[in-house]
A and B are shown apart, each in its own frame.
Chain A
Amino acid sequence: MVRDAFREVVFPMRQPSVTARRVAAASVSLVLAAGATACGPEDNDAKAAGGDSTPHKGGTLTVLNANPQQDFDPARLYTSGGGNVPSLVFRTLTTRNREDGAAGAKVVPDLATDTGRPNKDATVWTYTLKKGLTYEDGTPITSADIKYGIERSFAPELSGGAPYLRDWLVGAADYQGPYKDKKGLDAIETPDERTIVFHLNKPEGEFPYLATQTQFTPVPKSKDTGTKYEEHPVSSGPYKVVRNDNDGERLVLERNPHWSAVTDAERKAYPDKIDVRSGLDSSVINQRLSASQGADAAAVTTDTNLGPAELAKVTGDKDLASRVGTGHFGYTNYIAFNPKTKPFDNPKVRQAISYAIDRSSVVNAAGGSALAEPATTFLPDQKSFGYTPYDHFPAGKAGDAAKAKELLKEAGYAKGLTVTLTHSNAKDFETSPEIATAIQDALKKAGITVKLQGLEENDYSDKIHDVKAEPGFFLAHWGADWPSGGPFLAPIFDGRQIVKDGANFNTGQLNDTSVNDEIDAINKLTDLDQAAERWGALDQKIGEKALTVPLFHPVYKRLVGKDIKNVVISDWTGVLDISQVAVK
């Protein structure tokens, strides 16, 4: 993923404990890391880097990554939209639309004939499989295999996936997987070989998004080897695993002869072979891609972004600049307040800080305007999230210190105010000291003295997600599991998701009946465009409470080797889609 962005980020809606969250977070980084890539020319619809731009089949694509493809088992992967490398091997009921930009944030059918048929209140979802689907050994894929694949993701030894299935499926809360409980899950029915029906315990209009995750991959029961399955998972996609060294450090994929483009409209699968090499330093990856020597000419990365210094160098070089792809992903970096602490219980203090923020210096600290866009909304600036522009406390480019001072005076702090800003010591340009010092400098102009409290990464993460230890004023970030307002707003602002003992993500500890009711109402909608609009309106309404100060949305810059063609970067992942890349 992008510049470690996802490490902390793509948390599920709710988690039982800090430990569980950590496990999940760890897997997120690998899978997403595993899955994603981005590159391509500046304009997102450009197709190639010079010469004959038509993509051809053949050749070997090399993937240079920092994080290994650990636990390459569909039950254990935690992906957004099925991941990037995993999606080459694992097909799912639905998948993300493999198109550039905003169109790529749509969910489309994959193994199923459509994105799902809900009942009236979106609690029952029915899918029908396409005809003629087979595994890498030619045996047919059945709906029972998909049910089995989901069931085994409940086995404790195959943990790592998102918790949504356990939360949403009827009677699944305590299910321990098919190894212990042979009876299986009653919430999933397979009336015939091509039909599968899901029964949910509450309306979930966004179920089609969930069905993109690798847990919805068919697993043939006769080939299941439990924890060893990750060494050779049976492929339903265009490539099969022929080599997996050192738990995903080196992964070699070759064509699956039984895959057919007739049943798969999404994956292009141009290269004959894909060689994934991980464990590399990010600067080494970018250096090798820019040199493009030998096999590196046909190389991409799915988890490494260009840093500010590398960008400064690349933009001065025409050849290199033409090989940089730009990606957007739904993600927001923000300041969080804990309104249960003084002086942040006073909305005027929170508003004063909102006015005083200098977004241009924050953006520069995050890597400059090419790597970050100033944010005034909590939702990312993309249509699929329901982005509705608003700026309740306009700070302008450099902050409105006068307005901030005025508000502080009204709040009883005419002589100024001293506060502590908690941040992490991660070198991620997100919750790191660079961003904190930029804020410190801006608030100084408004008479607010900021003391910095830098915490070690795990300590930071534990503290900000613990209701009892939560600091009053800290840096935070959030990304969603799929490009919609639901997983973006609900975990942060739904009052019923405040977790007293365990990992809490509702850091503003907001419990407002009107907000909670609106979340429930939107979850019932199965028209995703209509839902997006309502999420946007809800975001605008919550924004008035000044519980957060949105700072910036990151932008991702990826370098590709000089022979890479057909660059497609969707707004779902923000990274180059390996299934579309050609090397000839």
Chain B
Amino acid sequence: MTDPAVPAASGARQFWRRLRTQRAALAAAGVVALLVLVALAAPLLTAVEGQDPTTYHPSLVDSARGGVPVGPLGGASADHWFGVEPQTGRDLFARLVYGARVSLGVALAATVVQVAIGITLGVAAALGKRWVDQLLSRFTDVMVAMPLMIMALALLAIVPASFPRPVLVALVIGLIGWGNIARIVRAQTLTLKELDYVAAARLSGWGTWSIARRELLPGIAAPVITYAALLVPTNITVEAALSFLGVGVKPPTPSWGQMLTAADVWYQAAPQYLLLPAGALFVTVLALTVLGDGVRTALDPRAASRLRVGTGRRQESKAAGGGTA
């Protein structure tokens, strides 16, 4: 609760204050931070374990039984913390943490591309001439209507194999999935540009570019950040699905989606092989979704949390009430 005598906190401070009251969002932020840390420290972690993600260990699998890992829990031991991969004996812990680099890296990069394109086209449509708006809006409609997976499959199939694959996957997802963000930005910009302070700027002789940068961008930041936070988990699942279908990153580079593909037939004989990437993907997507929802609630307290879990709406309304009293 704030002291009524103190002037209202600035936007960013208000945001942090609201976010802090949501325990679920904080926990999710902690999990996300941990995952990013693990991905960044992958070489370090595997060095501590003494393994790497690509070396074969034929002696650790039972060749006569289809290559199932030797020993209980999928061959887990002091040397191989999460056991080994069936048929190859590659270290699963190493593959999982290196897989995090691909999954998180591709998803974040794709989100950046989506946001950049979305803002550019959205603002241009809102501020441009009528025909520009018509053209860009219809183009956006087409992109939104386009099934992402099918487009991505087609694009990934025609690009030569020499192009670095993770970059390509990020670009393809980014270049296809920006439609909704462009729509949101356009709508928000149209609302903002009718407001008095924007009109004042225009009357002072500011150019369109300066108005967009200095007056409009801060106003559209809130919905864009919110939407971007929710795009990251979507992009992770898209990357996993593309790798699952065999057009994502190429072997021997591990990715969670690719691990899932290889593991799906092993669910009975070596369940941990499937559960590890599936669990990692589940935790990551859940954490990012909860965090995204928390960000949304913190930026726009009037909107109720979609998830309705631990968002601290009660405390928040009390805090708000205290502030105005």
Residues of A within 8 A of B (CB): 283, 307-313, 315-316, 358, 360-361, 363-365, 367-371, 398, 425, 427, 433-434, 436-438, 440-442, 452-456
Contacts and interface: CB of A to CB of B under 8 A. Distances in A.
Contact of A312 (B54, B68, B88, B246): B68
B61 interface: yes
A441 B56 contact: yes
A368 B251 contact: no
A452 B250 contact: yes
A483 to B, nearest CB: 26
B263 to A, nearest CB: 9
Given A307-B265, A434-B87, A438-B56, A363 B251 contact: no
A206 to B, nearest CB: 36
A316 B62 CA distance: 12
26 contacts: A308-B87, A308-B265, A309-B68, A309-B86, A309-B266, A309-B268, A310-B265, A311-B65, A312-B62, A312-B66, A312-B86, A312-B266, A312-B270, A361-B58, A364-B87, A365-B87, A368-B61, A368-B64, A368-B87, A369-B64, A370-B64, A433-B250, A438-B56, A440-B252, A442-B56, A454-B250
Given A358-B58, A361-B56, A437-B252, A371 B161 contact: no
Given A315-B64, A361-B88, A365-B67, 15 more contacts: A308-B68, A311-B66, A313-B269, A315-B65, A363-B63, A364-B58, A364-B88, A368-B62, A370-B65, A433-B250, A434-B88, A437-B88, A437-B252, A438-B56, A441-B55
B157 interface: yes
A313 B268 contact: yes
A442 B88 CA distance: 12
Contacts of A309: 66, 68, 86, 265-270
A308 B56 contact: no
Interface string B68-108: 10000000000000000011110000000000000000000
- By size class, the interface of chain B is 20 to 34
Contacts of A283: 265
Contacts of A438: 56, 88
Contacts of A369: 63-64
Main secondary structure of the interface of B (DSSP, over half): loop
A454 B66 contact: no
A286 B63 CA distance: 21
Contact of A456 (B58, B157, B265, B266): B157
Contacts of B54: 437, 441
B251 A437 contact: yes
Nearest to A459: B157
A425 B270 CA distance: 24
Nearest to A308: B66
B244 to A, nearest CB: 12
Interface string B33-59: 000000000000000000000111010
Given A434-B87, A452-B250, A368 B63 contact: yes
A98 B251 CA distance: 43
Contacts of B64: 315, 368-370
Contact of B88 (A313, A365, A371, A425): A365
A310 B157 CA distance: 31
Contact of A364 (B63, B246, B251): B63
Interface string B159-190: 00100000000000000000000000000000
A358 B58 CA distance: 10
Nearest to A282: B265
Given A312-B65, A312-B68, A454-B161, A398 B58 contact: yes
A17 B40 CA distance: 52
Given A307-B265, A398-B58, A360 B63 contact: yes
A382 to B, nearest CB: 22
A307 B54 CA distance: 23
Interface in B138-162: 157, 161
B69 to A, nearest CB: 9
Contacts of A361: 56, 58, 88
B169 to A, nearest CB: 14
Interface in B86-136: 86-89
Interface of B: 54-56, 58, 61-68, 86-89, 157, 161, 246, 250-252, 265-270
Given A368-B66, A437-B252, A452-B250, A360 B86 contact: no
Contacts of B266: 309, 312
B265 A367 contact: no
Contacts of B157: 456
A316 B268 CA distance: 11
Given A361-B88, A437-B251, A456-B157, A307 B58 contact: no
A358 B66 CA distance: 17
A359 to B, nearest CB: 10
A367 B62 CA distance: 10
B48 to A, nearest CB: 22
Contacts of B265: 283, 307-310
Contacts of A436: 251
Nearest to A397: B58
Contacts of B246: 425, 427
Contacts of A367: 66-67, 87
A310 B68 CA distance: 10
Nearest to B68: A312
A313 B265 CA distance: 11
B252 A364 contact: no
B1 to A, nearest CB: 59
Contacts of A454: 161, 250-251
Contact of A368 (B56, B67, B250, B270): B67
Contacts of B62: 312, 368
A369 B54 CA distance: 22
A9 B269 CA distance: 30
A491 to B, nearest CB: 29
Nearest to A427: B246
Contacts of A453: 161
A307 B63 CA distance: 13
Contacts of A398: 58
Contacts of B67: 308, 312, 364-365, 367-368
Contacts of B66: 307-312, 315, 367-368, 370-371
Contacts of B250: 433, 452, 454
Contacts of A313: 268-269
Contacts of A363: 63
Given A309-B265, A360-B58, A433 B63 contact: no
Which 3 interchain pairs have the tightest Cβ spacing? A308-B66, A312-B269, A311-B66
Contacts of B269: 309-310, 312-313
A55 to B, nearest CB: 31
Nearest to A453: B161
B86 to A, nearest CB: 7
A433 B251 contact: yes
Contact of B56 (A358, A370, A433): A358
A437 B250 CA distance: 10
A437 B54 CA distance: 9
Contacts of A441: 54-56, 252
A368 B65 contact: yes
Contacts of A308: 66-68, 86-87, 265
A425 B265 CA distance: 17
A72 B161 CA distance: 41
A368 to B, nearest CB: 4
Nearest to B269: A312
A452 B268 contact: no
A450 B250 CA distance: 13
Nearest to B89: A364
Contacts of A433: 250-251
Nearest to A306: B66
